[in-house]
Amino acid sequence: MIAGNVSYLCPVCGYTGLEESPYDELGCSSFGICPCCGTQFGYDDTTAAHAELRRSWISSGMPWWSEAQASPSGWDPITQLRAFEKTSRYEPDADNGQAGDIAPRPNKRM
């Protein structure tokens, strides 16, 4: 649940439901973890750029990472990434165009 109806954007996967900003106004990390892609801000992004973490998440099939927090009803990672590309400062060229080349993931039934 998001306190006070305020949510923040994950700079890796574009998930819009983070409960706290990944970074404060000084650029210091929250050390929070995105429930969607699993990026821990201030840890994972100290050795890999957001674009690299995004490519890794995409190549792994864009799974919902959190086992404790269910994905939002109707969640679709492809739609999420496309919206992120259109509405954020995210530039596909920073990814060598790869993030824009999102292929549908196979349906997995468990």
Residues above pLDDT 70, as percent of the chain:
75
What's the rounded Cα separation, in Å, for the pair 72 and 96? 30
Predicted pLDDT of residue 93 = 43
Using one digit for the tens of pLDDT, what is the confidence trace for 28-84?
A: 999 999 999 999 999 999 999 999 999 999 999 999 999 999 999 999 999 999 999
Q: Across the chain, what does the average pLDDT equal?
A: 83
Predicted pLDDT of residue 98 = 39
Name the residue among 52, 67, 58, 66 with its Cα closest to residue 105.
58
The token duo for 59 is 């190549």
pLDDT band at 104 (very low <50, low <70, confident <90, very high): very low
Sequence-ordered list of residues with C-beta below 8 angstroms from that of 55, at least 6 positions apart, any chain: 95, 98, 99
Residue type present at position 8: Y
Using one digit for the tens of pLDDT, what is the confidence trace for 24-35?
A: 999 999 999 999
